[in-house]
Amino acid sequence: MAETLFCKNTETFAESLARCGVKYHFAYPITPATDVMKRMAVILPKYGGKMMQMESELAVSSAVAGAACTGTLVATSTSGPGFDLMQEAIGFMCGADLPCIILDSMRVGPGDGDIVGAQSDYYMATRGGGHGDYRVPVLAPCEGQEIADLMPHAVKLAYTYLTPVLFVIDGVTAQTTETTTVPDYHDYSAEFDVSGWQYTGTEYHPKRALITGSYAHEDGYKMNERLRAKYEVIREKEQMWKEDSIEDAEMIVVAFGIHGRMCRDLVKKMRADGKKVGCIRPVTLWPFPDKAFEKLPASCRQILVIEMNHGQMVDDVRLAVNGRLPVHFFGKTGGDTPMYTLREMIAETSRLMGE
């Protein structure tokens, strides 16, 4: 039954996965994502599944690809340095149309970087990650409750479009402990017919299934055209974002994840001071919610993008705004407080508004 938990958001992620029908979870330990695999090891057997620790991240993503071939809902969890290493099999899964759920709990890079939270994987997450013309739907919840609320949608995306679905959660949100209501168990993947493509073994199987990410000549062209068509549908139908007080806003702040959450307070406090500020919080990072920027209110004079990095999503905002308004950027990464505080966010917003 639905249950209110008080736990780390990494653990909420695990609970949400398990309650949405994930059967297998493969992972390799890495801060700040290890709590997901630890929790999965404990709870998955209750739902008839299993967590398995592999010897490396490439082994993890390959195991995910293998299990996905059977039509079974499978997941993994990692952080930036591990996500780098998984790209080979993720690219394969995109070419081979295989569903799965992935978590990248973002930390400071490049390289091993630092274990504190960041949003520096935006580029990698939203541009596919590996080589080739592929994309992966990317969900960016800003709090525990949104993780739980988005999970059924993530499973549906994965099976509707036969694609890996990626969650990106900054390490600060991932490590935050909070109250979250998680739903009853329901295997959302069971709502989809996978008999047309799944591997079931040779017994009783009249046809020889072929799942491949390897194509030659005209087949490679066709595969890419097929992916292109799929991504066009996703772009058109699957953009998600939240708006706060933008109807008469003179300044719109755009932020995702924890900064997006902090903007609730930013808007409330600045509105209380009579400053007309609104917020757009992208929930899907790919497809980027271009539609949120199609009809900006006439009152809007400028846009400020706030991120826990040196400016990544700001590029997509500029593409969406397409020169109609000035788009500013405010962000930092690393350090004991690896992000701008609410006070600093308000000060910068006020400064740009000329006050």
Partner 1 sequence: MLFKCMFSGSGGQGSALIAKIVCKGAMEENLRVVMTQTYGIEQRGGDSTAFVILSDEPIGSPIVEQDANVAVGLSQTTYQSCFEGTCKGGVLFCNSSLVENPGQEDGFEQVKLPVSDMAVELGNVKGANMVMLGAVVKKTGMLKKETVEHVIEKLLGAKKPQLVEPNLKAFRAGYDAV
- Side-chain-side CA neighbours of 258 within 13 Å: the count stands at 25
Question: Of 14-22, 51-59, 100-108, 264-272, which segment contacts partner 1 by CB under 8 A?
Answer: 264-272
Q: Choose which of 1, 2, 4, 46 interacts with partner 1 (CB under 8 A).
A: 4
Binding range to partner 1, per CB under 8 A, among 200-208, 223-231, 246-254, 339-347: 339-347
Strand partners, 4: 181
Distance CA 105, CA 52 (A): 19
Buried b (16+ CB within 10 A) or exposed e, 232-242: eebbeebbbbb
Question: Residues 342, 116: contact at Cβ < 8 Å?
Answer: no
- The reply to whether 34 sits near partner 1 by the rule CB under 8 A is no
Q: Which of 54, 58, 325, 342 is the binder for partner 1 (CB under 8 A)?
A: 342
| Beta carbon nearer to partner 1, 12 or 62 | 12
The only residue of 147, 182, 258, 283 in contact with partner 1, by rule CB under 8 A: 258
Single residue of 104, 143, 170, 316 touching partner 1 by CB under 8 A: 143
* Contact positions with partner 1 (CB under 8 A) in 176-235: 176-179
Q: Which one of the spans 100-108, 148-156, 202-210, 341-349 is the region binding partner 1 (CB under 8 A)?
A: 341-349
265 near partner 1 (CB under 8 A):
yes
Q: Hey, what are 260's tokens?
A: 């997006």
Does 88 sit near partner 1 (CB under 8 A)? no
Q: Residue 124: name the closest of 109, 114, 113, 112 by CA.
A: 109
* Contacts of 22 by beta carbon, 8 Å cutoff, 6+ apart: 44, 49, 73, 74, 75, 101
**Residue with smaller CB distance to partner 1, 6 or 123:** 6
Q: Which is nearer to partner 1, 178 or 238 (CB)?
A: 178
Give the chain's length.
Answer: 355
CA terminus-to-terminus distance, the chain: 51
Which of the ranges 61-69, 73-81, 92-100, 259-267 carries the binding residues for partner 1, by CB under 8 A? 259-267
Query: Angle, nearest 10°, between helix axes 144-161 and 9-19?
Result: 40
Binding residue count for partner 1, defined by CB under 8 A: 22
Contacts of 48 (CB under 8 A, 6+ apart): 23
Question: In this chain, which stretch among 173-181, 182-190, 208-216, 286-294 interacts with partner 1, using CB under 8 A?
Answer: 173-181
Applying CB under 8 A, which of residues 186, 226, 237, 343 lies at the interface with partner 1?
343
3-class DSSP assignment, residue 228: helix
Q: Is 262 in the site for partner 1 (CB under 8 A)?
A: yes
In three-state secondary structure terms, 269 is: helix
**In whole angstroms, how close is the CB of 116 to partner 1 at the nearest point?**
8
